[in-house]
Amino acid sequence: MSALLETENLSIAFGGITAVDQVSLAVSPGQIHSVIGPNGAGKTTLFNLISGLYQPSGGRVNLAGEEVTGLPPEQLARRGLSRSFQNLQIFFRMSAVENVMVGCHRHERTGILSHLLALPNVRAENRNSREIAMAQLARVGLADLAEKEAGSLSYGALKRLEIARALATEPRILLLDEPAAGCNAVETEEIDRVIHDVAKAGIAILLVEHDMRLVMRISDEITVLERGRKLVSGKPDAVREDPRVIAAYLGTFGSEEANRA
């Protein structure tokens, strides 16, 4: 299977530190590729580079065989790349379902004049987007909270709301930055199921997650970053046993997480 998303020697530096240093990886449709590494390893920065929020200082990003390096996020979204955020980026003043409806944006076709006049096609489109959004909310288990203002939802619910919103764009690849962080066991379970589901539907997934049990269980491929560099990549079993990974984790994470892994 050919890769949907590839990075080649992707790099960026802030001031003195090279936060992401020549990182290359590839994700295929339906594959779950996890990026792990100690705090500050550059995982979120890597996501920001891939999703067009930061301009790389070197390297390239290919999406479906085309170079997309440095394209703005809204254009990447139109090409089928979306993401969630480690630090929540929620539309707090909108209801949960409206949050997800914004995700339908790239499929909405009516123009601003019809919006001002509330023409029938706009009402039909609103209904359609709402249906799609409701389906995505149901998919992540938030159907009951659809009409609640997002600002009033729990942290765990908001994490899933972000996933639902990203899914509403109908992405070909989804970047999830610590979707289970701060979630309780039940919620983590739910997120595990959703990720599996999404991958099974043929969507490529790039995942950053600190919950090692989750990562080892669902990943097809794992890339380990340390201080911006790719340390190792491979199948979960191989990565788990790799002495360099164990050393890196023992060195920085403390033994607890290494044991959990």
Partner 1 sequence: MPELLQFAFSGLTVGAVYALVALGFTLIYNASDVVNFAQGEFVMLGGMITVFLHLAGLPLPIAAVAAILITVLVGLALYAFAIDLARGSGAVQIIIITIGASIFLRGVAQVIFDKRFHALPAWFGSEPIRLGGAAILPQSLVVLAGAALIVALIFLMIDRTILGRAILATATNRLAARLVGIPVRRIVALSFALSAAIGAIAGLLVTPITLTSYDVGTLMALKGFAAAMLGGMGSAPGAIVGGVLLGLAESFGAGLISSKYKDAIAFLIILFTLFVRPQGLFGKRSTERV
Partner 2 sequence: MERLLRNRWALVLALALVLAALPLVFPSNYYFRVAALVNIFALAAIGLNLLMGYAGQVSLGHAGFMGIGAYAVAIGASRFGLNGAVAMLAGAAIAGLLAFLVGRPILRLKGHYLAVATLGLGLLISMTLTNEAGWTGGPDGMAVPRLELFGLRLRGPDTWYMISAGALVLGVILALNLIESPTGRAMRAIHDSEIAARVVGVDVAAYKLKIFVISAIYASIAGSLMAFLNGHITPDGTAGFLRSVELVTMVVLGGLGSVLGAIVGAAMLVILPQALTIFHEYEHLLLGLIIMASMILLPRGVIPSLLARLRGGGA
Ligand X SMILES: Nc1ncnc2c1ncn2[C@@H]1O[C@H](COP(=O)(O)OP(=O)(O)OP(=O)(O)O)[C@@H](O)[C@H]1O
Long-range contacts of residues 135-138, Cβ cutoff 8 Å, at least 24 apart: 136/100, 136/103, 136/164, 136/165, 136/167, 136/168, 137/96, 137/97, 137/100, 137/161, 137/164
- For the bound state, the minimum distance from the C-beta of residue 200 to ligand X, rounded and expressed in Å, comes to 27
**Which option in Mg ion, partner 2, ligand X, none does residue 89 bind, with CB closer than 5 to 8 A by kind?**
partner 2
Q: Which of 55, 92, 131, 250 binds partner 2 (CB under 8 A)?
A: 92
Q: Which of 1, 65, 116, 185 binds partner 2 (CB under 8 A)?
A: 116
Q: Which of 80, 85, 169, 208 binds partner 1 (CB under 8 A)?
A: 85
Q: Which residues contact 3 (CB under 8 A, 6 or more apart)?
A: 26, 27, 28, 62
122 touching partner 2, by CB under 8 A:
yes
Closer residue to ligand X, CB minimum distance, 14 or 155: 14
Residues of this chain, 132-171, that bind partner 2 according to CB under 8 A: 162, 165-166, 168-169
Closer residue to ligand X, CB minimum distance, 133 or 205: 205
Closer residue to partner 1, CB minimum distance, 61 or 261: 61
173 touching partner 2, by CB under 8 A:
no
Question: Would you tell me which residues interact with partner 2 (CB under 8 A)?
Answer: 51-53, 72-74, 76-78, 82-83, 85, 89-94, 98-99, 101-103, 105-106, 108, 110, 112, 114-118, 122, 125-126, 129, 162, 165-166, 168-169
